[in-house]
Amino acid sequence: MNPSLILRTSAPLLLWMPLVVSLYVLVRGHNDPGGGFIGGLIAAGGVLFYAIARGPAAARAVLRLSPVALCGLGVLVATASGIPALLTPETPYLTHFWWFPTLGVTLPLGTALVFDLGVYLTVLGMASALFCALVEEAQ
Amino acid sequence: MHSLIAAPILVPLVAAAVTAMLWRQPGLQRVIGLAAAALLLVVAVALLVETASGRILVAQMGNWAAPFGITLAIDLFSAIMLVITGLMALAVAIYACGPGAAERDRAGFQPLFHSLILGVCGSFCTGDLFNLYVWFEVMLIASFGLLVLDRTDEQLDGGVRYVVLNLIGTTVFLLAVGLLYGLTGTLSLADLARVAPTVENQAALGAVGMLLLVAFGAKAAVFPLFNWLPAAYHTASMPVAAIFAALLTKVGVYAIIRVFTLIFAHDMAVFGPILAVVAAATMITGVFGAAMHYDIRKILSFHIISQIGYMLIGVALMTPLALAGSVLYIVHHIIVKANLFLIAGAMRAEAGSFALKRIGGLWVAAPALGLLFLVPALSLAGIPPLSGFWGKLVVIRAGLEAEAYLLAGIALAVGLLTLYSMIKIWNEAFWKAAPAPAPAAPWTRREQVATYAPIVVLAGLTLTIGVWTEPFAALSLTAAHGLLDRTAYIEAVLGAASLQLAAPLLSDGGTL
Amino acid sequence: MDGLFIVMVGALVAAAVYLLLARDLPRVLIGFVLLGTGVNLAILAAGRVGAMVPPLVPPGSSALPDVVANPLPQALILTAIVIGFGLTAFALMLVVKVYARFRTVAADDLTEAEGAATPAAATLASQTPLTRQEAA
């Protein structure tokens, strides 16, 4: 497999587009179709593209953390999003809380977003690990 | 209280995540793994203390009300299973520090191991059928990874068989869940228990029950769905094989017991005989399969199958005594079977092979191992005063009381044949002279301690249950009464008012 | 509508069973994917197919409109798809690895796990390299 010069050169640019879209989809998931899972997959799609263009090693390098570690981090973030609920005895684990701070516009924030972020990272890590392994095997 | 209910899930979850992040530092991973396993055991014991009186602990995850959200419900049976899971996790985590630890941890043993424990604990905690499916999958994916950990030729081949057959089993489970939802409009176990007897289309419900039996049966390796087990288990590395042997099939048995006592209890006239035949066939096939093999791991794998049959007798008869027998048997079996696999690993380290024809003279080389082998081996065969004797005694007594004489007779005969297999291992591995001088085992002192410590502790437990049976039997009996008291379970999860509500939630429920 | 679902589920499961019975591992894998799809459609049908309105709370309101599609089967299917994705991905990796190692994906040629377990299987195993060379 020998990707063309055009593909290799445009790879970094084309990696950022899915990443930005994935973040939009992640945040949008609060009230509309979208969310952490699909966002993570879109981001992983970008990583897959990068891995095909420049090789799995380069794709792993661009993620900074190893995919498996990213996965672990995601699970930790998602787990942590349930912890505020444990502070009061009436709310069982994973009860989510919301804040609507007004800074010019009203921002809907909440622990559910943290949970989604954890899902995003987990899916990104898992799918990247898998894609990189498959690309490696194919080469 | 709420936090404690989720703890058996959170502890392995966090352990898996942290060890995954520390994948470059195997030493630190091992320490965290050991600490998490110990913590799980502590948490599980605390839950057992809470539920010992028969109380059912319930928490609604995310504060979504009962039939709609995911419920965690821990009754005494769940708590017993959690304690034994914690114990096994700790024993195997220590054992995994023995020979080969460095390579295993570099391949990712710790995160996968804790993911497996996570799936097992989740299955024992959940009060929701779909959630049970999810935990099964967590367990399954982790077990895939663990099985092919060393990437040897035979592991890849065994892995293929294991993966293909389990994929089909899990799809059947999913189909059953979907159809059950179509019939009843709910997937909460408590709500299903409330609604199931009132469903109009009992024939369709029976079909769903059969699908669930196939799905869980494939997981529990009952006749005729056991082929994946002897094809795969013996290829795994020893700590992996031990934790598989201890827990995986037992989760299937747990699911059968849980679902059939809660949802299909009114239909036992149909399912009782089916389960009895399955139990008998499972015992017989397993024990004959073991009799023809000469590889220690294969013999032990087939014995897992034969012992599953004993556990199913309790569900088949559905009397308090029979179910108590099943619970006691599961506890005894998990300890004994895991220990036998651990001992097989030690035998391999001492004698150099798993093939009985190639080894021998272990009684001279390692007499302590011989004694340690005899405890679980004789217990498995049901020799008094070891734990297996009491397990078999209760099960067979329940069989006689329920006038299932054939079933009780088969259970007795299979015990005898189990003794034959165990004596075979004893004769070949320990008693006969070594065919070739065994290669000196290059153990370090620490590896030896890590290998022998869990074996000694588990053998001690087998003796304890055998000699001091009273509390264990009493606990099993309380658990069995809890299993049969469906109203208490429904009330604990849904509230007392729910029992008066008219049945299905979907207006056209039952037209499927 | 229900009739259409029944036919589709039937066709998918029939194709899946045919593929699952194949000796070729990739075919078995495709069979599993089809089986999963069929089962997912069955779940959708079990939740009653009727309303075509997506179950979303409209802006400014705090409850679902009266007539919406049943969200629960969709949630179940989404979860099942995610899990199916993971399982398929793992199985695919395994098949790729098996091919890289043994240069075959025919289930009949895989006998490694049986090697040396029984005397009979041991002799069989010693013959397999020959068969493999012949196949190549």
- Per DSSP, the residues of A68-123 read HHHHHHHHHHHHHTTHHHHTSTTSPTT---EE--EESEE--EEHHHHHHHHHHHHH
Mean pLDDT of C118-124: 42
CATH code that applies to domain C2-53+70-105: 1.10.287
Neighbours of C120 (CB within 10 A): 10
- C interface residues, B as partner, C-beta within 8 Å: 20, 25, 28, 32, 35-36, 39, 42-43, 45-48, 72-73, 76, 79-80, 83, 86-87, 90-91, 94-95, 97-98, 101-102, 107, 110-113, 115-119
How far, in Å, CA of B458 to CA of B481, rounded?
28
B403 vs C133, higher pLDDT: B403
What's the pLDDT score for residue A1? 54
What pLDDT is recorded for position B455?
92
pLDDT, average across residues C74-84: 90
Under 8 Å between Cβ of B333 and B386 = no
**In C, which residues are within 8 Å of A133 by CB distance?**
93
Buried b (16+ CB within 10 A) or exposed e, B452-469: bebbebbbebbeebbeeb
Classify B57 as helix, strand or coil: strand
Length reported for chain C:
136
Q: Say if the Cβ atoms of B17 and A94 lie within 8 Å.
A: no
Q: How many CA atoms lie within 13 A of A30 on its CB side?
A: 18
Three-state secondary-structure class, residue B135 = helix
Q: Is the pLDDT of residue C8 over 90?
A: yes
The answer to whether C115 contacts chain A (CB < 8 Å) is: no
Distance CA B57, CA B264 (A): 23
Name beta bridge partners: B72.
B59, B126
What's the CA gap between C92 and C90, in Å, rounded?
5
Q: What's the per-residue H, E or C state across B59-127?
A: EEHHHCCCCCCCEEEECHHHHHHHHHHHHHHHHHHHHCCCCCHHHHHHCCHHHHHHHHHHHHHHHHHEC
Instruction: Convert the pLDDT of each residue in B23-53 to its tens digit.
Output: 888 889 999 999 999 999 999 999 999 888 8
How many domains, chain B? 1
* Helices and strands: H and E segment counts in chain A: 6, 4
Whole-angstrom CA distances from B263 to B59, B202, B278, B372, B484 are: 21, 12, 19, 42, 11
pLDDT under 70 in chain B at which residues?
Answer: 1-3, 437-442, 499-512
Cβ distance B127 to B493 under 8 Å? yes
Dihedral class, residue B62 (left if φ above 0, else alpha if ψ from -120 to 50, else beta): left
Q: What is the pLDDT of residue A30?
A: 73
Closest by CA position to B47, among listed B92, B109, B113, B2? B2
pLDDT of residue C116: 45
Mean pLDDT of A125-136: 86
**Residue written as tokens 């149909």?**
B270
Structure tokens at B169: 């089993």
Among B154, B171, B177, the residue with its CB nearest the CB of C35 is B171
C20–B181 C-beta distance less than 8 A? no
Write down the pLDDT at residue B153: 84
- Is B509 within a domain? no
Residue type, C56: L
Q: What is the per-residue pLDDT for C114?
A: 66
Q: Report whether the peptide linkage leading into residue C71 is cis, meaning its omega lies within 30 degrees of zero.
A: no
Contact A37 C96 (CB under 8 A): no
Q: Which chains touch C (3 or more CB pairs under 8 A)?
A: A, B
For residues B191 and B350, what is the distance between their CA atoms, to the nearest angstrom? Answer: 54
Nearest CA to C27 among C15, C37, C36, C38?
A: C15
- Owning domain of residue B57: 2-500
The answer to whether residue C44 scores a pLDDT higher than 50 is yes
- Contact (Cβ atoms closer than 8 angstroms) between residue A127 and residue A108: no
d(CA B326, CA B310): 7
Domain ranges of chain A: 5-138
Residue C127: what pLDDT?
A: 41
Q: How far, in Å, CA of B229 to CA of B293, rounded? A: 14
Q: Mutating which of A94, A95, A124, A137 best tests the B interface, going by the most B Cβ atoms within 10 A? A: A94
**Is there a contact between C117 and B298 if contact means CB atoms under 8 Å apart?**
yes
Contact status, residue B147 vs residue B240, Cβ threshold 8 Å: yes
pLDDT at B510: 38
Answer yes or no: do C43 and B181 touch at CB < 8 A.
yes
How far does the CA of residue B10 sit from the closest CA of chain A (Å)?
Answer: 8
DSSP-assigned letters across all residues of B172-219: HHHHHHHHHHHHHS--BHHHHHHHGGG-S-HHHHHHHHHHHHHHHHHH
Q: Hey, CA dihedral for A57, A59, A65, A71, is it positive or negative?
A: negative
- Phi-psi region at B501: left, alpha or beta (left = phi > 0; alpha = psi -120 to 50): beta
Distance separating alpha carbons of residues B1 and B59, to the nearest angstrom? 9
Residue pair B157/C112 in contact by the 8 Å Cβ criterion? yes
**Residue to substitute from C35, C96, C123, C126, interface B, most B β-carbons within 10 A:** C35
How far, in Å, CA of A46 to CA of A22, rounded?
9
- In whole angstroms, give the CA distance from residue A134 to residue B15: 27
pLDDT tier, C107 (very low <50, low <70, confident <90, very high otherwise): confident
CB atoms B156 and C83 under 8 Å: no
